[in-house]
Amino acid sequence: MWNLILAQAQEAAQQTSTATGAEQTATGTANPFSNMLFLLVAMVAIMYFLMIRPNQKREKNRREMMAALAKGDKVVTSGGICGSVVGLSEKTVVLRISDDPAVKVEFLRGAISQVTSRGGQDKE
């Protein structure tokens, strides 16, 4: 019984493949996978230019800002604390957050969100 069903399925598949092959050669239709491939490539390109590339530019600007950080710069942390840089190390930044010279707080470099002025001059 299973052999009979399998033989009928193979015969039907052969008939449809010859019919679709004749139709494709007569009409000249392209492979549908090429259209899907084109759409997939277009979607990846759009995602790259709208999402990935701008994020890479922001990260590059942030790395440059962190590398250019120096004593005397006025900064704002991600928590909203404003202060001026009085000490730097590889991983941390020491900020003076008050006019009292004894009030200093140590932050990780990643906590600096923006530099408001460089060494007493306004940021351009």
Residue 70 identity? A
Digit-coded pLDDT (tens) for 29-45: 667 788 889 999 999 99
Q: Which residues pair with 88 in a beta bridge?
A: 93
Digit-coded pLDDT (tens) for 48-70: 999 999 999 999 999 999 999 99
pLDDT recorded at residue 68 = 92
Place of tokens 């709208």: 50
> Is the pLDDT score of 121 beyond 70?
no
Strand extents, DSSP E, 1-124: 74-77, 82-88, 92-96, 104-108, 112-118, 121-122
> Is the pLDDT score of 12 beyond 80?
no
State mean pLDDT over 1-26.
Answer: 65
Tokens of 11: 């015969």
Digit-coded pLDDT (tens) for 89-112: 999 999 999 988 889 999 999 999
pLDDT recorded at residue 21 = 53
- Torsion, Cα of 98, 99, 102, 106 (10° steps): 30
Q: C-alpha 79: how far from its chain's center? A: 24
Reported as type and span, the H/E element at residue 24 is helix 2-27
